[in-house]
Structure 1
Amino acid sequence: MDSADRESQIVALLTDIQLPLRHYVQSLMPGDSHAHDVAQQTNATLWQKRDDFELGTHFKAWAFSIARFEVLNYRKQQARDARLGLTFSDELESVMTRELAEEPDDFDERQAALEQCLNKLRPADKQLILHRYFQDGTLQAFAEQHGRSVGGLRVTLHRLRATLQTCIERALTPNEPAS
């Protein structure tokens, strides 16, 4: 296989895991606004180390292990800079990583269920969800564009998240036979 074909395959694999990779990094850095930056650094590292990856093996597992090290590097840097008052112990980090690895790999099913559930929403509600979570828009900007209050939008988002969660859980739960 020539290098152009190999790079093309690597690009395709890298593209396919962007959303799961971002979610994985966010799960390791709950509430940390720098998770996006660490995910981008992970992408850069993946690209730099692309020749280390053996095509035909599990790309997602390889990428997630690199992401874990990027998160650890970020935390060490934060601890060094003394800007972070709380750091995870190595033992807690190990437990979190082990539990995340044991999570079922049902991302595609959950993504399909989310799409179905989003399509069941009223157009205005769907627009709000898409603006807030998929376009990284602020509530303030949406409120100004649509003549609504930020507080009202927060209440609506809370209701919509609960509705979507229920819908997704129903979609993922196999129908039990009637008795």
Structure 2
Amino acid sequence: MGGDQAGTPQEQRFVRLFAQTQRALHAYILALVYDPNVAADLLQETNIVLWKRFADYDENLPFLAWARGVARRTVLNYRRSSARQIATLDPQMLEELAIRFSNASAESTNRLDALGECLRKLRESDRSLIMARYQPGNSVNALADKMSRPVNSVSQSLTRIRRTLADCVQRGVQAAQRSAES
């Protein structure tokens, strides 16, 4: 790339799509091969193929779907060349299980990312209260004693904070899903 560190528009697009899909793609491959070390190696092989064949990518399709197709072929090639049989299940069944697993993994990741962002958005006092509640050994009663507040008051505050976090996380997950679809 020389002095142009930003890269071409095509390289920039690839890097953006690549970064958005790595976790889900890794989860998909892991669900197909069950071995984290093999999955990491196959992810790297898949990434190389994605880069080499990015010009063939149809932008009308979701990038993750295209990347999964490349990953599936990489896994099948690995299985053919491997001396041992990885799985005895029907390949279509494995594919369905892998898609379900990677979708659940991506959703969990999106929820955790959204939760972290939502916690940062809370007022300091609310964030401290909710974090204290989930420290080992802390109960609502113990927090109420430490804060010199009635148990009911602390419980209501925690309920309000949880509701705020749940709404915020839901919005964050929906935004992440919209972003992944574009």
Give distance in 1, aligned partners of 2:57 and 2:63. Answer: 8
Corresponding residue of 1:41: 45
1:95 to 85, 93, 96: 93
Structure 2 residue aligned with 1:74, among 68, 78, 81?
78
| Bigger Rg over Cα | 2
Aligned CA distance change for structure 1 residues 38 and 122 (closer, same or farther; 3 Å): farther
Q: Equivalent residues in 2 for 1:80-159 (5 A)? A: 84=84, 86-89=85-88, 92-101=90-99, 105=103, 109-115=107-113, 116=115
Shift of 1:51: 0.7
Question: Over aligned residue pairs, what C-alpha RMSD do you find?
Answer: 3.1
Shift of 1:58: 1.1
Amino acid at match of 1:114: L
Task: Deviation per CA, 1:91-123: give whole Å up to 9, x if none.
Answer: 611211134346684655422433538x85659
Q: 1:57 to 1:99 in 2, by over 3 A?
A: same
C-alpha change, 1:59 and 1:68, in structure 2 (3 Å) is: same
The alignment of Structure 1 onto Structure 2 pairs a total of residues equal to 116
Q: Give the TM-score, by structure 2 length.
A: 0.53
Cα distance between partner residues in 2 of 1:104 and 1:34: 16
2-structure distance, mates of 1:39, 1:104: 14
Provide structure 1 residue ranges, at least 5 long, that are not aligned to the other structure: 124-170, 175-179
Identical counterparts, % of pairs? 27
Return the letter of the residue paired with 1:49.
R
* 1:13-66 per-position Cα deviation (integer Å, ceiling 9, x unaligned): 011101111111111011352110000000000001111002242110000010
What is the TM-score of this pair, normalised by structure 1?
0.54
Q: Which moved more, 1:54-63 or 1:41-50?
A: 54-63
